[in-house]
Amino acid sequence: MTSGGSRGFLLVAMGAALWGTSGIAGAFAARYSSLSWPAISSVRLLLGGLLMLVLTAVTGELRRVGRTPESARRILATGVTTAIYGTAYFQAVPLVGVAVATVVCLGSAPVAVAVYTAIRGRRLPGRSTVFALLAALAGLVLVSNPSTPVGDGRWFAVGLALALLSGLAFAATTVVNQRTVPGLSPRTLIATSLTLAGLLSAPLGLLGGADFATLTAPAWAAIAFLVIFQTVIAYLAYYGGLQAGLPATTAVIVLLIEPLTATVLAVLVLDEQLTLPVLLGIVLLMLAVVLVRPVRKIQPVRKTAAPTAGEKSG
């Protein structure tokens, strides 16, 4: 694995860990206000995008964006898929519950990327990737511990479809952003695509409940954390990792650090019980990440032949 791949691994891991804090921060924002989860999601995307727009405008990056069809297509694709996976996930939660939505969304993304990569490259994934996918799926089920579903019948099926759509949209975002576009820096891409995603998801967020007059100081603090750390810095790290050369399949498996972080924080901060299945799930998620970690290949030291007597005298 190249040094770029190692750097990409660390950046994606950092982004995933920050995304893993969204549950607690979002819960604080919801507890100290009357904002719905879809509203919180759209607000963090929109404010995060606007913050990045200001930063890129101040540094001059926004003015240097290449106004090409390729740049426009990348911004549009990233903004639309980001809006879809965030909105679809939060619409799935009331229908199937957090556990099932998490398993379907985060479980389908690495599988979708692996299948796409195999078809495009006409090559089956390696054994370590297959084992990592199996460990990831099993770990997600154990950590999420899905019990009786919230919905039933056709609404439960709709919830499953929305969770699957969320996972596929995130997989698409990952695949699309594996390579850079000339004249479009990661910071400018994040600024424009997050703003677009926030605008696209705002209508559903407003319908779900968005009374900003009820925001208290703790709610504003939680939203500020979501915007700065869980949105701006996390997206910069994730897209930076992709464009540093980390393969898409590896990236979405490393993303399992997100539910791993969320589970550990729930135990430490919210005093949730650490059961044996959850502990086993944590181990399996860690195993999945370890299986796809970058491994530096050590080049063997070539021994130089000893000079002959003639060479010594010469």
Over the stretch 94-103, which tens digit does the pLDDT of each residue have? 787 766 777 7
- Give the residue carrying structure tokens 């594996």: 178
Are 136 and 110 in contact, with CB atoms under 8 Å apart? yes
Are 34 and 209 in contact, with CB atoms under 8 Å apart? yes
Radius of gyration of the chain (CA): 22
Q: How many CB atoms lie within 10 A of CB 289?
A: 22
- Closest by Cα among 193, 199, 6 to 81: 193
SS3 string of the chain?
CCHHHHHHHHHHHHHHHHHCCHHHHHHHHHHCCCCCHHHHHHHHHHHHHHHHHHHHHHHCCCCCCCCCHHHHHHHHHHHHHHHHHHHHHHHHHHHHCHHHHHHHHHHHHHHHHHHHHHHHHCCCCCHHHHHHHHHHHHHHHHHHCCCCCCCCHHHHHHHHHHHHHHHHHHHHHHHHCCCCECCECHHHHHHHHHHHHHHHHHHHHHHHCCCHHHCCHHHHHHHHHHHHHHHHHHHHHHHHHHHCCCCHHHHHHHCCHHHHHHHHHHHHCCCCCCCHHHHHHHHHHHHHHHHCCCCCCCCCCCCCCCCCHHHHHC
Count of domains for the chain: 1
Are 226 and 14 in contact, with CB atoms under 8 Å apart? no
- Listed in sequence order, the residues at least 6 apart from 93 whose beta carbon sits closer than 8 Å to its beta carbon are 37, 101, 159
Q: How many CB atoms lie within 10 A of CB 201?
A: 25
pLDDT at 224: 93
pLDDT (tens digit per residue) in 30-80: 888 888 878 888 888 999 999 999 999 998 888 887 788 899 999 999 999
Judged against a pLDDT cut of 70, whether residue 297 lies above it is answered with no
Q: Is residue 181 part of a domain?
A: yes
If you average pLDDT over each of 159-163, 195-199, 253-257, 269-273, which comes out highest?
195-199
Q: Is residue 302 part of a domain?
A: no
How far apart CA 283 and CA 279 sit, in angstroms, is: 6
- Closest by Cα among 55, 8, 27, 300 to 190: 55
Beta-bridge partner residues of 181? 184
Read off the pLDDT band of 252 (50, 70, 90).
Answer: confident
Which residue range is the domain that position 197 belongs to? Answer: 3-293
CA atoms within 13 A on the CB side of 57: 8
Are 174 and 109 in contact, with CB atoms under 8 Å apart? yes
Read off the pLDDT band of 81 (50, 70, 90).
Answer: very high
Q: Is residue 239 part of a domain?
A: yes
Q: Is residue 312 part of a domain?
A: no
Q: Is residue 307 part of a domain?
A: no
Q: Is residue 130 part of a domain?
A: yes
pLDDT (tens digit per residue) in 184-240: 888 899 999 999 999 999 887 777 666 777 788 888 999 999 999 989 999 999 988
Q: Is residue 306 part of a domain?
A: no
How far apart CA 74 and CA 176 sit, in angstroms, is: 8
Judged against a pLDDT cut of 80, whether residue 306 lies above it is answered with no
- Listed in sequence order, the residues at least 6 apart from 47 whose beta carbon sits closer than 8 Å to its beta carbon are 198, 223, 227, 231
Q: Is residue 313 part of a domain?
A: no
Average pLDDT score over residue span 240-265: 85
Query: Does the predicted model carry a pTM greater than 0.75?
Result: yes
pLDDT at 298: 46
- Give the residue carrying structure tokens 């930076």: 240
